[in-house]
């Protein structure tokens, strides 16, 4: 009876960590949704277009820099699991990851002009759109240091299993952003610049709350110089460098799907935009499970407890599978209704409906890589994450697309499904090999 109770408690612990992150994932897009709604009711569509392009430029950079969150989670979780120096090592992980985040945020500020020019060159906007793009970007970019630090702080807090705090921070930030949008745009007539300023203030507010919670968690421990010596820097740059390459390989595949679909015509491009929302939907739940697994596996890794790593992985796999089945059944039953919510154009609805069998397969084939990503983040095995991502991209995504490209736009989705499955298989294979060979805790890279 005690063993059964303990197992239920372990499952409850995982879900109690995952659920706030699922809610936080749902609230994150609201930051952009409020901005869009406010600008969408202005007199000129060029305002919305300019702000949208400006947001896209920055969010793509922030997405690539998501390695900060992953490395912070793994380091923080392992520090928490250390029986003898948990508080000190947790503070070390916090200051190290925040230092890298601050450097990246500062670098983006220094490079804001060439970044903006590159974005204008890629987007080729009309002059009215470019004017509003520049007005938005030149304000919003000053939130870059806070945005980068928020990535590190969210990752660190997840590693410390403070997922409820992360949810509260996200909700507060969104409420501040929404309120200031109304004040700046409608009250002070600040237009696009007001929307950008509201986002900047929200980002710094979230950063301040995150720092306050994190410093309280590690009892205000001040940074030590030896945490940033040459040996420490080498480990940090290797860990984060591997994660960066992994993110770039993933972004290459997703960008190729979008751009290649656009080359095929207006309808395929629009259909792909609709179908990507199915991918976003499954990420809301599966990422939440992955975050919980990152924290729990990392804690076990910090304690050097192999059996706990295995147990947390299997528990995560069970819940990931259940979520995947629920998504698949939901898409099977309500797929056409979801499409109807996303577009009311009949020919787009018909075209997107043809892809529903693939959308049903999407969570079933893709949940493995979400789950194993969480395991590897917890173990801080970034080299394996890099290698398996590149192998899956170069060896599976692009070859599958090339072999099936005569079938048109659907070839891109064949390639994506194969890519997600390949990532799950390769990560799972590496994990099993390392577990059997005793290499789970041998390296942070």
Q: What is the pLDDT of residue 1?
A: 43
**How far is residue 419's CA from residue 285's CA, in Å, rounded to a whole number?**
20
Tell whether 192 and 277 lie within a shared domain: no
Boundaries of domain holding 319: 239-445
Q: What is the pLDDT of residue 119?
A: 85
Q: What is the pLDDT of residue 4?
A: 58
**Which residues in the chain come in under a pLDDT of 50?**
1-2
Tell whether 243 and 221 lie within a shared domain: no
Q: What is the pLDDT of residue 320?
A: 95
pLDDT in tens, 13-28: 999 999 999 988 887 7
Tell whether 348 and 395 lie within a shared domain: yes
- Could you give the number of structural domains in the chain? 2
Q: What is the pLDDT of residue 381?
A: 93
* Contact in structure between 173 and 29 (CB atoms under 8 Å): no
**3-state percent breakdown (helix, strand, coil) of the chain, nearest 5:** 90, 0, 10
**How far is residue 221's CA from residue 212's CA, in Å, rounded to a whole number?**
12
Tell whether 202 and 249 lie within a shared domain: no
Q: What is the DSSP string of 131-150?
A: HHHHHHHHHHGGGHHHHHHH
Q: What is the pLDDT of residue 174?
A: 87
Which of 173, 199, 228 is at the close of a domain?
Answer: 228
Q: How many other C-beta atoms lie within 10 A of the C-beta of residue 120?
A: 17
**How far is residue 213's CA from residue 334's CA, in Å, rounded to a whole number?**
41
Tell whether 59 and 189 lie within a shared domain: yes
Tell whether 400 and 274 lie within a shared domain: yes
* Contact in structure between 320 and 445 (CB atoms under 8 Å): no
Tell whether 86 and 161 lie within a shared domain: yes
* Contact in structure between 150 and 210 (CB atoms under 8 Å): yes
Q: What is the pLDDT of residue 35?
A: 67
Which of 200, 228, 256 is at the close of a domain?
Answer: 228
**How far is residue 225's CA from residue 99's CA, in Å, rounded to a whole number?**
12
Q: What is the pLDDT of residue 29?
A: 65
* Residue 4 belongs to some domain of the structure: no
Q: Which residue has the tokens 């979400």?
A: 370
Please compute Rg for the chain using Cα positions.
22
pLDDT in tens, 24-75: 888 776 666 666 667 666 666 677 777 777 887 888 899 889 899 999 999 9
**How far is residue 215's CA from residue 223's CA, in Å, rounded to a whole number?**
11
* Residue 261 belongs to some domain of the structure: yes
Q: How many other C-beta atoms lie within 10 A of the C-beta of residue 113?
A: 10
């Amino acid at each position: 009876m005690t063993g059964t109770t303990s197992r239920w408690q372990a499952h409850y612990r995982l879900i109690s960590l995952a659920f706030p992150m699922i809610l936080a994932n749902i609230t994150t897009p609201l930051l952009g949704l409020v901005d869009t709604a406010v600008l969408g009711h202005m007199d000129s569509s060029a305002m919305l277009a300019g702000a949208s392009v400006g947001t896209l430029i920055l969010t793509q950079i922030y997405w690539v820099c998501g390695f900060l969150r992953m490395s912070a989670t793994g380091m923080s979780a392992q520090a928490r699991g250390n029986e003898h120096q948990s508080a000190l090592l947790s503070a070390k992980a916090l200051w190290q990851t925040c230092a890298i985040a601050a450097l990246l945020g500062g670098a983006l500020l220094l490079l804001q002009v060439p970044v903006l020019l590159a974005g204008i060159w890629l987007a080729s906007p009309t002059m009215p759109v470019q004017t509003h793009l520049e007005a938005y970007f030149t304000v919003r970019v000053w939130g870059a240091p806070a945005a980068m630090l928020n990535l590190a702080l969210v990752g660190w807090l997840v590693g410390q299993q403070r997922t409820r705090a992360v949810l509260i921070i996200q909700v507060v930030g969104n409420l501040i952003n929404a309120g200031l949008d109304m004040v700046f745009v409608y009250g002070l007539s600040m237009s696009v610049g007001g929307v950008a300023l509201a986002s900047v203030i929200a980002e710094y507010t979230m950063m301040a709350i995150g720092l306050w919670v994190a410093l309280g968690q590690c009892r205000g421990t001040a940074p030590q110089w030896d945490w940033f010596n040459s040996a420490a820097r080498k480990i940090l740059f290797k860990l984060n460098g591997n994660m960066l390459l992994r993110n770039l390989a993933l972004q290459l595949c997703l960008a190729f799907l979008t751009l290649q679909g656009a080359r095929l015509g207006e309808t395929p491009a629009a259909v792909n935009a609709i179908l990507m929302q199915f991918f976003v939907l499954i990420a809301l739940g599966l990422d939440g499970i992955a975050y919980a697994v990152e924290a729990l596996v990392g804690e076990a890794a910090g304690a050097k407890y192999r059996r706990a790593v295995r147990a947390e992985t299997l528990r995560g796999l069970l819940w990931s599978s259940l979520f995947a089945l629920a998504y698949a059944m939901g898409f099977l039953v309500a797929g056409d209704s979801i499409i109807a919510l996303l577009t009311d154009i009949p020919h787009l609805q018909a075209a997107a409906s043809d892809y529903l069998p693939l959308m049903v397969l999407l969570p079933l084939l893709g949940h493995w890589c979400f789950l194993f990503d969480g395991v590897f983040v917890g173990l801080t095995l970034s080299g394996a994450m890099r290698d398996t991502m590149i192998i899956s991209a170069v060896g599976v995504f692009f070859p599958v697309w090339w072999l099936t490209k005569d079938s048109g736009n659907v070839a891109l989705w064949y390639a994506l499904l194969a890519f997600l499955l390949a990532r799950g298989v390769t990560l799972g294979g590496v994990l099993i090999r390392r577990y059997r060979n005793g290499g789970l805790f041998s390296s942070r890279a």
